[in-house]
A = this chain, B = another copy of it.
Amino acid sequence: MYVILVYDVNVARVAKVLKTARKYLHWVQNSVLEGELTEAGYRKLKRELEKIIDLDQDSVLFYILDSGRYAERELLGVRKGGEEWIV
């Protein structure tokens, strides 16, 4: 499964959320990561993030694409994701 993750968490937890998400996915932009995951990997990532975030304050949103990947990704402006864009 291909996953796009977008988080909106309190600044106190950003570093930890990003560090955890990067173990599983590629960073593409501020608050956005994506990548291919197994079902097991996806469950593990969710479990780890659930322990870090404040479920009453923070949001972590997953888009799951089962058709391989998205059709296209287009960028306006500056590329912030560095080499991890090329995945």
Contacts and interface: CB of A to CB of B under 8 A. Distances in A.
Interface in A65-80: 65-67, 70-80
Total identical chains? 2
Contacts of A50: 76
Contact of A78 (B1, B57, B71): B57
Interface residues of A, number: 39
Contact of A29 (B61, B72, B75): B61
A25 interface: no
Contacts of A32: 6, 8, 61
A58 B77 contact: yes
A55 interface: yes
Contacts of A71: 1, 64-67
